[in-house]
Structure 1
Amino acid sequence: MFKTKNLSPQQLSAFTALILSVPIALGIWIIRPDWEIAVSSLVITFFGSYLLIRFVLESFIYRKIKLIYKFIYQTKATKREETYYKYILPQKGIDEVREDVEKWAEQRSAEIEQLKTNEAFRKEFLQNLSHEFKTPIFAIQGYVDTLLGGAMENPALSKRFLENAARNVERMVNLVQDLDEIARLESGEQPLYKETFIIQDLIREVYETLSIKTAARNIRCSIKKGCESPISVFADKEKIRQVINNLLENATKYGKQDGSIVASVYKTDGRHVLIEFSDDGIGIAEEHLSRIFERFYRTDRGRSRDGGGTGLGLAICKHIIEAHGQTMHVRSKLDVGTTIGFTLDAKRD
């Protein structure tokens, strides 16, 4: 069955001309039953109508459609695009053009939604950044104003205020350093120096480094039974040390008193190694899990700014792991604990 849904301008012109010319030719034949005159009128009417209709379509309709396409792509037409407008576009039916416009509208709608989301994150980030800087700045300002107001005459008080001011300056320095590191990781300016090393040995080294902090809370650090066999990975050792250190500091900070931290190491598909750290601390609510790797993101009062740190540790971890071409993941349940892990390339032959 003949379908008129996606006719090109030429097909539409021919179809319309045929509809016009056949009745006219029949009418002439009825008035004067001469086949030569009837056929001649059919041919003349068909071609005349075809040329006129095609001219109208291309001049007044498809010229507008061409402008729509130029508006959609928002660019000055190249030679390739001009060829498209001249030879390919006129072959398209109105429905095909409509589908192209709908696809463009959907794409732009998705881009707008993404821009809105990015704008919301940007505003939240700037608000958090402002708060992170204001807290130590106002504290330092308060100590300095108090000292200038006469507190310098009391040596003990002066020393305490200066020590507090120094701690806040150190906090700001750490914040700037962390932001700078994230910026360099995002831009790819910080190169990776990959080497082969045994991941369990690195975990034990970080355990030893943090032993004073874990001992203060009587937290036991161990490698899961069955995961002690040495497994080699190919990565930037110092960057991975930083990742493990950040994860263990978080596990220590938010783990429970007399709790435990357990590291697990698994070979997955022969090409990757999975490393996970589990604690039995306060846990994270499900609605926060998708955002914990964002800069400055805080989940609840249990993870407030009063706990110290810059709020950028997990964001730095994520960027380091992604720079290795790998991913991070998290599983958690309130009052049960949290498991955070990542993958690395296995030892290269």
Structure 2
Amino acid sequence: MLTIRTQILIAFISSIVLTTAILTVAYKWMWFDAHTTLLLTISAIIASCLTTVICILFINPLVRRIRLMNLQTKRVAQGHYNETELNIDSPKEMRELSHSFNTMARNIETQIEQVKHEQQEKSEMVQNLSHDLKTPLASITSYAEGLKDGVISTKKEQNKAYDVLIKQSQRIATMFDELTSVMSLNTVSRNNYELETIYIDKLFVSILQTYEQQAACESRTIDVNLCDEVQSFKQYRVPLERILLNIIDNAIKFTSPGSRIELKVNQEAGNLLVITVSDDGPGIASEHLNRIFDRTYRVEESRNKTTGGSGLGLYIARNLAHQMDGVLEVKSKINIGSSFILKIPMK
């Protein structure tokens, strides 16, 4: 493979040979006499040599820049993205090429870091899920062995064991449902949903029916306050319902039986729908508020032992809100309660 300098030298040598050949032919055809032909040949050779030298002087800096770019390209291939800044000012084409190279290196570094971060989060999420599965599986195993061995013999104890088995099985199912939802967030966009006309009263009736039996058994109160300005609007029903269900699930998990949950609907300027879900639970400390929507963050290491689930509900809700061009915020005070505020545009 020839270098640029070698190719230029070959081109000029070929030019000298061709010029000499033309002058020789001209001499044989007697276009010039011998003296004139010799002078023209010498002049052509000298001019070609000078042109070659001048060209090489101009080409050398360009070759050095190309070699530098080649070296930096190899460093990028080796993973040294932040050590490959090119500062080439001229010629114009090389300056533009170096600028594009620097932009490419920065973009690759950003994407690589993002992939590493996502892989780390997924690894932590799997580890957390494995840890969370140990408790319900141990409980299921112990009660199943007790039933098999006859240790749990009375009808009352057996009914209790069956309740525990059902509850822990549902807990495991919830964990896997949340994990499946997280995995699908990367492949499902709002283009997969259908824009529908949503009647706010019917939406909340449907959601409240989901918790009717549980609220009655646990003596919970779920209040709904609707504003008269909001009757119907266009949005994506499926993600909206999922967001509200996840937030209400979270409120139920972290409050005691007999507690109160409030759902409030308002309209803000800019045709913005605001849905607030408030509870009177233990609240969330201020140092945790900015991270409770993270996929792998845990306020308490032991929280899932009593509440069930994998702690992914809020992460899923926030991402669905973003798909709807909305935001999900939280306000909380210790020993007073928490409020999750969903803001989405009404289409």
The TM-score bracket by the shorter chain reads 0.5 to 0.7
The 5-angstrom pairing of residues 1-349 of structure 1 reads: 50-59=54-63, 61-68=64-71, 70-71=73-74, 91=91, 107=107, 110-111=110-111, 113-151=113-151, 157-188=157-188, 191-207=192-208, 209-211=210-212, 213-214=214-215, 216-219=218-221, 221-223=223-225, 227-255=227-255, 259-270=260-271, 272-295=272-295, 297-300=297-300, 303-347=303-347
Please say which of residues 215-224 and 322-331 is displaced more in the overlay: 215-224
Amino acid at match of 1:264: V
What displacement does 1:187 show?
Answer: 1.4
Deviations 1:226-251 (A, max 9, x none): x2433322123354233223322323
Mapped to 1, the partners of 2:222 and 2:156 lie a distance apart of 39
Mapped to 1, the partners of 2:280 and 2:151 lie a distance apart of 46
Question: Contact between 1:203 and 1:244, CA under 8 Å: does it hold in 2?
Answer: no
Mapped to 2, the partners of 1:52 and 1:249 lie a distance apart of 75
Please say which of residues 209-218 and 131-140 is displaced more in the overlay: 209-218
What displacement does 1:129 show?
Answer: 1.1
Mapped to 2, the partners of 1:231 and 1:56 lie a distance apart of 74
Mapped to 2, the partners of 1:151 and 1:143 lie a distance apart of 9
Question: Contact between 2:283 and 2:336, CA under 8 Å: does it hold in 1?
Answer: yes
Q: 1:180 to 1:209 in 2, by over 3 A?
A: closer
What displacement does 1:130 show?
Answer: 0.6
Q: How many residues align?
A: 288
Deviations 1:19-68 (A, max 9, x none): xxxxxxxxxxxxxxxxxxxxxxxx99986763342343344x23412413
What displacement does 1:114 show?
Answer: 3.4
Q: 1:149 to 1:218 in 2, by over 3 A?
A: closer
Deviations 1:156-203 (A, max 9, x none): 545543442333222222322332233334312893233112224423
Mapped to 2, the partners of 1:185 and 1:95 lie a distance apart of 41
State, as a whole percentage, how many aligned pairs show the same letter: 23
User: Secondary structure of 1:221's match?
Assistant: strand
Q: TM-score, normalising length from structure 1?
A: 0.65
Q: 1:67 to 1:295 in 2, by over 3 A?
A: closer
Mapped to 1, the partners of 2:92 and 2:75 lie a distance apart of 16
Question: Contact between 2:264 and 2:277, CA under 8 Å: does it hold in 1?
Answer: yes
Q: 1:177 to 1:258 in 2, by over 3 A?
A: closer
What displacement does 1:120 show?
Answer: 3.5
Amino acid at match of 2:281: G
What displacement does 1:287 show?
Answer: 2.7
What displacement does 1:299 show?
Answer: 1.4
Amino acid at match of 1:53: L
Q: What runs of 5+ residues in structure 1 fail to find an aligned partner? A: 1-42, 75-87
Question: Contact between 2:265 and 2:273, CA under 8 Å: does it hold in 1?
Answer: no
Question: Contact between 2:195 and 2:235, CA under 8 Å: does it hold in 1?
Answer: yes
Mapped to 1, the partners of 2:154 and 2:279 lie a distance apart of 46
Deviations 1:232-278 (A, max 9, x none): 221233542332233223234435765452413214313x4232223
Question: Contact between 1:262 and 1:279, CA under 8 Å: does it hold in 2?
Answer: no
Mapped to 1, the partners of 2:255 and 2:302 lie a distance apart of 11
Mapped to 2, the partners of 1:103 and 1:47 lie a distance apart of 37
Q: 1:164 to 1:325 in 2, by over 3 A?
A: same
Question: What RMSD in Å do the two structures reach over aligned CA positions?
Answer: 4.0
Question: Contact between 1:185 and 1:323, CA under 8 Å: does it hold in 2?
Answer: no
Question: Contact between 1:196 and 1:232, CA under 8 Å: does it hold in 2?
Answer: yes
User: Secondary structure of 1:278's match?
Assistant: strand
Q: 1:48 to 1:208 in 2, by over 3 A?
A: closer
Please say which of residues 325-334 and 48-57 is displaced more in the overlay: 48-57
Amino acid at match of 1:221: D
